[in-house]
């Protein structure tokens, strides 16, 4: 293992907190990884990692060396890209994480076009509603709805998604349709909550240009977008959701929009990626490509977006 490979291994051990996980990701034997780090520590005459039965953490020297090593490898990648033609013909494995509906309804239907345009890029895509650790899991970028909360990531706005409130015909036949937002309190709603949080999200509408929240009653709460849709189709109550999620059900009448006179606030959707001085070419071209998909789906962002 040469010095640059050793640096890459060291970086991934720090980020993943595990010799075994880092060795597995880089496809090297665990014993080779252990030997390489011992050799690195011997050459530097300092201990870089503290090892316990459960976790591996960098020492103070190890943390400083980790930060410098990341910059060194970023500079190396930039230098290679500048002379190898990879900026014009990006290559490598692109690791993505997308919410399920964004993957199945927006990105995957067009992903063959991306491959045709960039035939040297392989894609590894995970999806779901869970939070991911981009650095620890080696993910290049994620697409997420809502206001970005992680200040350590770079966020590029892709779109502002329209929302609506809707319910199944069976629910509306049994309970009637609200005629004004103030009537929402008298209705049943499917509650959506973030995992790890007890607070459910209220429904919100624009009244006189201001966002007003309305609490609703209900007997079922879910934390997954697919379950949210299924509960609405089953007549469990009103739901508030991005319109594009529900377009097939609205077209065939399985769901019906209510309170259409009062618009819902739009939901921002962004692509997020770890801060680097310069993006790897494979990540940059994906971000540019996926940005165009969202423009085609939701329209161009207004200035200041």
Which CATH number fits the domain that encloses residue 256? 3.40.190.10
Give the residue among 79, 57, 96 at the shortest CA–CA distance from 4: 79
- The verdict on 172 and 258 lying in the same domain is yes
166 conformational bin, left if phi > 0, alpha if psi -120 to 50, beta if neither: beta
- The verdict on 154 and 110 lying in the same domain is yes
- The verdict on 59 and 125 lying in the same domain is no
304 in a structural domain = no
305 in a structural domain = no
- The verdict on 230 and 291 lying in the same domain is no
Q: What is the pLDDT of residues 189-204, one digit of tens each?
A: 999 887 656 556 789 9
234 in a structural domain = yes
Pairing assessment for the beta strands 141-145 and 92-98 based on DSSP bridges: parallel
The pLDDT confidence band at residue 51, using thresholds 50, 70 and 90, is confident
Domain boundary among 53, 84, 115: 84
- The verdict on 14 and 34 lying in the same domain is yes
The helices-and-strands tally (H runs, E runs) of the chain is 11, 14
17 in a structural domain = yes
14 in a structural domain = yes
Task: Report the number of distinct structural domains present in the chain.
Answer: 3
- The verdict on 195 and 281 lying in the same domain is no
Question: Tokens for 101?
Answer: 């509906």
- Is a pLDDT exceeding 60 seen at residue 168? yes
- The verdict on 200 and 247 lying in the same domain is yes
Q: Which H helix or E strand runs over 207?
A: strand 203-207
Q: Are 224 and 129 in contact (CB under 8 A)?
A: yes
- The verdict on 45 and 64 lying in the same domain is yes
* Segments forming the whole domain that contains residue 60: 3-84
- The verdict on 255 and 116 lying in the same domain is no
Dihedral of alpha carbons 20, 26, 29, 32, sign? negative
- The verdict on 169 and 36 lying in the same domain is no
CA atoms within 13 A on the CB side of 267: 17
- The verdict on 209 and 78 lying in the same domain is no
- Is a pLDDT exceeding 70 seen at residue 276? no
Q: What's the mean per-residue pLDDT of the chain?
A: 88
303 in a structural domain = no
Q: Under DSSP, is residue 119 helix (H, G, I), strand (E, B) or coil?
A: coil
- Of the ranges 61-65, 156-160, 166-170, which one carries the lowest mean pLDDT score? 61-65
- The verdict on 142 and 227 lying in the same domain is no
């Amino acid at each position: 293992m040469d010095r640059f490979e050793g640096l890459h291994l060291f970086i991934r051990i720090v980020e993943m907190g595990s010799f075994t996980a880092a060795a597995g990701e880089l496809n090297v034997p665990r014993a080779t990884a252990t030997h390489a780090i011992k050799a690195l520590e011997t050459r530097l005459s300092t201990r870089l990692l503290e090892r316990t039965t459960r976790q591996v953490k960098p020492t103070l020297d190890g943390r400083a060396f980790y930060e410098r090593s990341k910059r060194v490898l970023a500079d190396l990648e930039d230098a290679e890209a500048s002379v190898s033609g990879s900026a014009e013909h990006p290559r490598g494995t692109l690791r993505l994480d997308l919410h399920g509906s964004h993957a199945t309804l927006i990105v995957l239907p067009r992903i063959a076009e991306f491959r045709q345009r960039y035939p040297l890029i392989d894609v590894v895509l995970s999806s779901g509603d869970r939070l991911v650790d981009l650095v620890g899991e080696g993910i290049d970028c994620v697409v997420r709805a809502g206001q970005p909360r992680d200040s350590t990531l770079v966020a590029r706005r892709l779109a502002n998604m329209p929302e609506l409130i809707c319910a199944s015909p069976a629910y509306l036949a049994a309970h009637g349709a609200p005629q004004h937002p103030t009537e929402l309190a008298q209705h049943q709603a499917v509650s959506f909550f973030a995992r790890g949080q007890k607070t459910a999200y209220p429904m919100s509408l624009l009244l006189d240009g201001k966002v007003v929240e309305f609490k609703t009653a209900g007997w079922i709460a879910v934390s997954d977008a697919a379950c949210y849709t299924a509960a609405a189709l089953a007549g469990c109550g009103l739901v508030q959701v991005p319109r594009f999620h529900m377009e097939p059900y609205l077209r065939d009448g399985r769901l019906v929009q209510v309170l259409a006179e009062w618009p819902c606030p739009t939901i921002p959707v962004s692509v997020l990626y770890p801060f680097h001085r310069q993006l790897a070419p494979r990540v940059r071209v994906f971000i540019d490509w996926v940005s165009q998909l969202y423009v085609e789906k939701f329209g161009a962002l207004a200035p200041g977006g």
